[in-house]
Amino acid sequence: MKCTVHASKNFVIGTADKRLFSSFVEQLGRCVYGGLYEKDHPLSDEDGLRSDVIKLVKDLDIPMVRFPGGNYVSNHRWEDSVGPIDERPVRLDLAWKALDPNTFGIKEFIDWCKKVGTEPMMALNLGTRGIDAAKDLVEYCNHPGGTALSDLRKSHGSEAPYNIKMWCLGNEMDGPWQVGHKTADEYGRLAAEVGKAIKLFDPSLELVACGSSNSDMPTFPSWEETVLEHTWEVADYLSLHMYFRNDEDDTETFLASSKKMDQFIETVVHVCDYVQAKKRSKKTMYLSFDEWNVWFHSNEQDKTEPKWNVGKHLLEDVYTFEDALVVGCLLNSLLRHCDRVKVACLAQLVNVIAPIMTEEGGPSWAQTIYWPFYYASKYGRGEVLDIRLDVPTYKNHHYGEVPYADAVLVYHAEEQELDLFVVNRSLDETMEISLDAIGFPTQLKLIEHILLHHTDLKASNDRDNPEHIKPVVMDITREPYKAPRQSWNLFRFSIS
Amino acid sequence: MKCTVHASKNFVIGTADKRLFSSFVEQLGRCVYGGLYEKDHPLSDEDGLRSDVIKLVKDLDIPMVRFPGGNYVSNHRWEDSVGPIDERPVRLDLAWKALDPNTFGIKEFIDWCKKVGTEPMMALNLGTRGIDAAKDLVEYCNHPGGTALSDLRKSHGSEAPYNIKMWCLGNEMDGPWQVGHKTADEYGRLAAEVGKAIKLFDPSLELVACGSSNSDMPTFPSWEETVLEHTWEVADYLSLHMYFRNDEDDTETFLASSKKMDQFIETVVHVCDYVQAKKRSKKTMYLSFDEWNVWFHSNEQDKTEPKWNVGKHLLEDVYTFEDALVVGCLLNSLLRHCDRVKVACLAQLVNVIAPIMTEEGGPSWAQTIYWPFYYASKYGRGEVLDIRLDVPTYKNHHYGEVPYADAVLVYHAEEQELDLFVVNRSLDETMEISLDAIGFPTQLKLIEHILLHHTDLKASNDRDNPEHIKPVVMDITREPYKAPRQSWNLFRFSIS
Amino acid sequence: MKCTVHASKNFVIGTADKRLFSSFVEQLGRCVYGGLYEKDHPLSDEDGLRSDVIKLVKDLDIPMVRFPGGNYVSNHRWEDSVGPIDERPVRLDLAWKALDPNTFGIKEFIDWCKKVGTEPMMALNLGTRGIDAAKDLVEYCNHPGGTALSDLRKSHGSEAPYNIKMWCLGNEMDGPWQVGHKTADEYGRLAAEVGKAIKLFDPSLELVACGSSNSDMPTFPSWEETVLEHTWEVADYLSLHMYFRNDEDDTETFLASSKKMDQFIETVVHVCDYVQAKKRSKKTMYLSFDEWNVWFHSNEQDKTEPKWNVGKHLLEDVYTFEDALVVGCLLNSLLRHCDRVKVACLAQLVNVIAPIMTEEGGPSWAQTIYWPFYYASKYGRGEVLDIRLDVPTYKNHHYGEVPYADAVLVYHAEEQELDLFVVNRSLDETMEISLDAIGFPTQLKLIEHILLHHTDLKASNDRDNPEHIKPVVMDITREPYKAPRQSWNLFRFSIS
């Protein structure tokens, strides 16, 4: 089939914020312990950080990493995770029914961030704690010195402040599973007062208020409206979380997941703008999609994990080629909403529903979903153009009319380059791509075609075949504009 | 007059839970200090526990004891009551305006429980504290080890966890007198979140949500409805409290007190089932009547007690024979609602509105109310049959038609025994009892008649006459089926 | 023009409570550090207290001083301000973006109070804290001994309890600027429960519930109604705050400020009495006007002060002669509402919108507003008579008809003296005063006329001309009953 992409240089959605390619490290399962941190691993450095994991993370060029939760944060005391490691208390994490040794705390995370070249985004516990604990943590991290808390940080070995710029006002506080879950009014009031205290400390800090845990929550989207009514003055971003599943092994529906993400984002934008109108405000509320991914493979196995251990095997989804196609579509969705979505965190980074897997004492490798994320991070940071697709559709019982192509077009002015990301959702037909881009001075010239494709939708990478699913650079002299059936593609065009 | 008790082997209310014969030890007056604990008493053991009190408690065979309050708990920090005794802080107890030395804390209570052969039931402070303090206490008590809090318990001399199975989510939170009193919504929300955290720790723990402090509270029974709406998922029991008084010296009204208890229980059952229907739930909410007794004698004297002392003479009701008859009726009420009331705590155990009295440095003795409780605890643990009484009634200005007999019939299948508890409320006439029990294979044979009777309703026991009021075993060869005027009776029948 | 003051011995508003002449010391700017406390000042005593400031304060005969805030209190932990000074933590005060060394804490304030002969009035943090912190502080301060907290105070060098009688249940909790700001319902519930705990400790303590921060708050006066509904049982006073400004340099409007204060007080009285009627209560709710003054001169300068310093130059209004006239009128307003206003605090005492200014290492002096306060404090403590004025009015765009005179008449029975305070608001005309006081046995005889007057409304005192604006005693043999244009006057009459 054919797919024509219509674009114009003057129709721009926005400039993609590099923070769209952020990720998330929760104190959960083997994300930290046995993931990015493994004391006795032969590849670990003097701080116990796995250098092979650092390499894989650095390759993804992740600008920001959310920490330390997730549900974890809602029953965590930050004081437990600072100071001399052997004096830190061992706690029970009620969220994941795990033992929390607090060995890898705030300083360790900050040090790791520096090593991988990323910025921290810190979540505050608004489940069991309030204003005092939150402002104390912010002061501990960010105040230069001369106060009890900032001097405490210095005594813990961090002379310079951490200068953490983004702070999450709690996590998924709409979820009944959350320790210290709140109603929209309860949360909105608490977040407003915590946020106010933090802005009194430093008005330049950016705060994320909790939106809904997903669009199927019974309180969505009235939660958003109520929370924004309370927090409008202090919140800079509203969060969105969404995970996608293919329980019924229905590929056509699963591949259309980006339509659900599109709709979720757009509904939340509408709520934001409704509250803005009610507030007679000039402020635009931006979105932080700070948890998103495919997540369902590990659900059954997780029920069998014993309680109260460190580094449990939890949420260890082994991703298929099919999942990678979905992740590609979801990245497209984030890019085409870059006017409002400024932050997005692939959840999570290592082992726990993650692009990177490790074996204890063994190797690490990239899962299938690593690759669309890798290329989006590398070529997505430009001006996203507002495209129209001329492509056939299929009827889906869940999503209605679904175009066979999910595409996004990114313009890099400096490089004079146009990058077209296309997922061909068809399970049968090759797609001939043509790009009709108006307003550029010269003819476009295809300079590279990167393809992620496999005949087996359920194929995946593992320790023994870590590169089973991996992108290939196509020979563009032969079939330059063809996206094979069930494939993720990046077409790079030179303008000059 | 005549009283015929109709019963049928097939009409069973339910099996009486042994926990119906539980009691309550509050940090109040001389219940602990000078009651069950008296360091320098000649009969005290190496832990300062009075062995004479232990003997009286063991005779009652109490399956569970609630601790440490009561109103006391709502301004108590559990951390104050653990660790080396001489390092524990002296606090003011605002509830009872007493000095709280924290000498007798959690470990001491657990040790005492073991000595008397009972289980602890612990109340959490939801007055001034929240989720963190509650889950910390549960972890301190029940987690085997390997965490800061469980290892703290070990370092305090308790290697094994306490395994406390029942926890009260606060105490009488509907009462404006309560430190940190809450509205029904405030309490319901807090109890739901605290309960959730505890169930995340251990879903097998049983939680009691606070119902009304008595049925005369202006918020009764809407309090129950609102609280259950919030806590339905986490609460296993809803509490009831009720105390009975005879201020106007009106014996006929006072003896009918069990009608008030019946009505209270039944109304609360109806609210529970209403919320169950609203929730479309399959769960049955059970009741914990965790404070009940006669209480009024000491009210005036209590106003004269000086503030901020340890072991104040508070709530030291000296019980009359009349009170014992009322307690007998109330035990009957609890037994005939054993399908829903699974726990009941006679409040309290020693000195404070208690069946057991002590003198500092002197003896201890059983009050009048000790005896109906003793026999109910001993012979009440069977199948309670649904009986109908054929007996005259009297008109009472408060309760309307009151039957002269208050009776309950308990079937012990293993022992092939039927035990009939009867209070004759008539102040003038002897009652001839006949038992018409259908469905049993053989004829019933009276094997024992235990009688509690005195001609003076106001007679009581004291240090010098500790056995003035005491049950007697009747000569059943003479008048086998007669309950004298104003008397409590137990008729034991053999079936085989 | 002429002004006749009609009065009758039998028409009495009430006896002015001496606490109407209270003041306020907040941990703000140079009120404490560099104000009443300056370690290295040549005039400071061994405790670092400036003796020249003490002298000026003692002259004002201030009965009570509110402490330690103000907005400051809502993010302060009292524990930080007790114990060995060199162990106290340095904190950030979010309210004033200042560094808080906690050097001058509770003990230091109490010691200072003793030196100047005043009583403390303490504010509790209901912004970030709750029941436990509040009752702990009260116990720490007021309990004689034998508990952990009272013994802690003793170990800190204060053997005797502080016996602080008045406590503010938070500060300006209706203000969105407040750390831990609350809705009326949130605040009312918290204040009710904190107040109850304190009254359980000592029912003789007097509690002030927060009213509105000023009458222009959007929640005024429904805030008052809601708060009183919740706190009626525990509150003895409701607070009022109000500051007056002359941004548009409109003297006629500015001089009428007392009309705004009158109306504010009267509206709050009506709300109190409305709630009293709803509650069917016999209790009269009294008012505590615990922040009032002129405040606007320093607003622009304050925006330039750097953050996170100790003793910042904040709120350092230099008061003009015009301001003194307004303060005179405001004092009159407080006196003529002495039946309900029992406490009033001139905000604040030193440097910060204050009657007393100091220079670091240099002198201290009285600002213009010092003087009307000085004389009101000295001659205002009597029976305030209900007067009627016969005086011309002027039309004001803001206040409508404004009498040229603002007067109040105070009867001192013991001294047989009548003291007439009169502000002549006319900028042009002298006012001839005549006093028509019925019911006194003898003729009135003028014994003194004290005048505060200057031709330049904008004249002020400063370090070099500390007595530029100062009252003078007039020669009453010449023009005994004349109040010059734009002047504050005290006419003292002898009755005997």
Map chain A to HEC letters. CEEEEEEECCCEEEECCHHHHEEECCCCCCCCECCCECCCCCCECCCCEEHHHHHHHHHHCCCEEEECCCHHHHHCCHHHHCCCHHHCCCEEECCCCEEECCCCCHHHHHHHHHHHCCEEEEECCCCCCCHHHHHHHHHHHHCCCCCHHHHHHHHCCCCCCCCCCEEEECCCCCCCCCCCCCCHHHHHHHHHHHHHHHHHHCCCCEEEECCCCCCCCCCCCHHHHHHHHHHCCCCCEEEEEEEECCCCCCHHHHHCHHHHHHHHHHHHHHHHHHHHHHHCCCCCCEEEEEEEEECCCCHHHHCCCCCCCCCCCCCCCCCEHHHHHHHHHHHHHHHHCCCCEEEEEEECCECCCCCEEECCCCCEEECCCHHHHHHHHHHCCCEEECCEEECCEEEECCCEEEECEEEEEEEECCCCEEEEEEEECCCCCCEEEEEEEECCCCCCEEEEEEEEECCCCCCECCCCCCCCCCCEECCCCCCCCEECCCEEEEEEEECC
- The Cα–Cα gap between C291 and C348 comes to 8
How close, in Å, is residue B93 to chain A by CA atoms?
26
Tokens of A339: 């006017």
Nearest CA in chain B to C138: B92
- The Cα–Cα gap between C234 and C241 comes to 20
Residue C438, Cβ neighbours under 10 Å: how many?
Answer: 10
H/E element holding C225? Answer: helix C222-231
Residue A480, Cβ neighbours under 10 Å: how many?
Answer: 13
DSSP letter for B27, please: S
Radius of gyration of chain C (CA): 22
- The Cα–Cα gap between B26 and A373 comes to 61
Residue A66, Cβ neighbours under 10 Å: how many?
Answer: 30
pLDDT score of C242: 98
B200 touches chain C (CB under 8 A): no
- C443: confidence class by pLDDT, cuts 50, 70, 90: confident
- B96: confidence class by pLDDT, cuts 50, 70, 90: very high
- C480: confidence class by pLDDT, cuts 50, 70, 90: confident
Residue A304 and residue A283 share a domain: yes
Residue C407 and residue C311 share a domain: no
Residue A441 and residue A349 share a domain: no
Set of chain A residues whose Cβ sits within 8 Å of the Cβ of C94: 135, 197, 200-201
Residue B293, Cβ neighbours under 10 Å: how many?
Answer: 27
Q: What is the largest CA-CA distance in chain A?
A: 68
- The Cα–Cα gap between C354 and C368 comes to 10
**pLDDT tens digits, C215-257:** 999 999 999 999 999 999 999 999 999 999 999 999 999 999 9
How close, in Å, is residue A128 to chain B by CA atoms?
6
Mutation for testing the C interface, residue in B74, B80, B128, B178 having most C CBs under 10 Å: B128
Residue B389 and residue B335 share a domain: no
Tokens 């404006």 correspond to: B176
Q: Which residues contact B196 (CB under 8 A, 6 or more apart)?
A: A176, A179, A181, B233, B234
On the question of pLDDT at B478 being above 90, the answer is no
**CB contact at 8 A, A227 and A209:** yes
Radius of gyration of chain A (CA): 22
Closest CA relative to residue B339, chosen from B5, B8, B11, B17: B17
Residues (pLDDT < 50) of chain A are: none
pLDDT score of B200: 98
Range of the domain at B479: 3-8+385-494
Tokens of C443: 């003729």
In chain A, how many domains are there?
A: 2
Task: Count CB pairs under 8 A between chains A and C.
Answer: 46
Residue B137 and residue B85 share a domain: yes
DSSP B433-474: EEEEEES-SS--EEEEEEEEE-S-TT-B--SSSTTSS--EE-
Residue B468 and residue B348 share a domain: no
Residue A321 and residue A227 share a domain: yes
Select from C143, C193, C201 the Cβ nearest to the Cβ of B180.
C193
On the question of pLDDT at B357 being above 90, the answer is yes
The residue among A340, A364, A381 that closes a domain is: A381
C147 touches chain A (CB under 8 A): no
Tokens of B132: 């963190």
CATH number of the domain enclosing B478:
2.60.40.1180
* Cβ contact, residue pair C97, A200, below 8 Å: yes
Buried b (16+ CB within 10 A) or exposed e, B338-350: bbbbbbbbbbbbb
- C195: confidence class by pLDDT, cuts 50, 70, 90: very high
Give φ, ψ of B48 to 5 degrees.
80, 10
- The Cα–Cα gap between A11 and A233 comes to 31
- The Cα–Cα gap between B465 and C373 comes to 73
On the question of pLDDT at B442 being above 90, the answer is no
Nearest CA in chain C to B127: C131
Tokens of B449: 């008649």
On the question of pLDDT at B360 being above 90, the answer is yes
Residue A95 and residue A188 share a domain: yes
Residue A389 and residue A255 share a domain: no
pLDDT score of B165: 98
Identify the active-site residue in B172, B316, B322, B417.
B172
**pLDDT tens digits, C332-357:** 999 999 999 999 999 999 999 999 99
**CB contact at 8 A, B281 and B232:** yes
**CB contact at 8 A, A60 and A378:** no
The residue among C359, C381, C403 that closes a domain is: C381
- The Cα–Cα gap between B82 and C71 comes to 38
**CB contact at 8 A, B246 and B322:** yes
Tokens 């959350």 correspond to: A178
- The Cα–Cα gap between A234 and A374 comes to 33
How close, in Å, is residue B278 to chain C by CA atoms?
29
Residue B206, Cβ neighbours under 10 Å: how many?
Answer: 16
Buried b (16+ CB within 10 A) or exposed e, C66-75: bbbbbbbbbb
Residue A326 and residue A254 share a domain: yes
**CB contact at 8 A, B352 and B23:** no
* Cβ contact, residue pair A181, B200, below 8 Å: no
How close, in Å, is residue A94 to chain B by CA atoms?
6
Decide: helix, strand or coil at residue C460.
strand
Per the DSSP assignment, residues forming a β-bridge with C406 are C423
Q: Which residues contact C199 (CB under 8 A, 6 or more apart)?
A: C205, C207, C234
Q: Which residues contact C419 (CB under 8 A, 6 or more apart)?
A: C379, C380, C382, C409, C410, C412, C490, C491, C492, C493
Tell me how far CA of residue A481 lies from CA of A354, A421, A425, A452, in angstroms.
Answer: 31, 12, 16, 14
DSSP B424-438: E--SS--EEEEEEEE
Mutation for testing the A interface, residue in B131, B140, B231 having most A CBs under 10 Å: B131
User: How many residues are given for chain B?
Assistant: 496
Q: Catalytic annotation on C172?
A: yes
**CB contact at 8 A, B184 and C189:** no
**CB contact at 8 A, C36 and C364:** no
On the question of pLDDT at B68 being above 90, the answer is yes
Closest CA relative to residue B368, chosen from B462, B290, B301, B254: B462
A179 touches chain B (CB under 8 A): yes
- The Cα–Cα gap between C92 and C85 comes to 17
CATH number of the domain enclosing A86:
3.20.20.80
Residue A268 and residue A337 share a domain: yes
Nearest CA in chain A to C98: A201
Residue A393 and residue A357 share a domain: no
The residue among A381, A403, A427 that closes a domain is: A381
Closest CA relative to residue B24, chosen from B58, B60, B77, B66: B66
On the question of pLDDT at C496 being above 90, the answer is no
* Cβ contact, residue pair A179, B193, below 8 Å: yes
User: Which region holds residue C280: left if phi is over 0, alpha if psi is between -120 and 50, else beta?
Assistant: left
CA angle, C292 then C294 then C295, to 5°: 105
* Cβ contact, residue pair C90, A148, below 8 Å: yes
pLDDT score of A443: 85
How close, in Å, is residue B221 to chain C by CA atoms?
22
Rounded to an integer, the average pLDDT of B450-456 is 98
Identify the active-site residue in A26, A172, A206, A322.
A172
Set of chain B residues whose Cβ sits within 8 Å of the Cβ of C190: none
Strand ranges, E, within C170-213: 206-209
B279 touches chain A (CB under 8 A): no
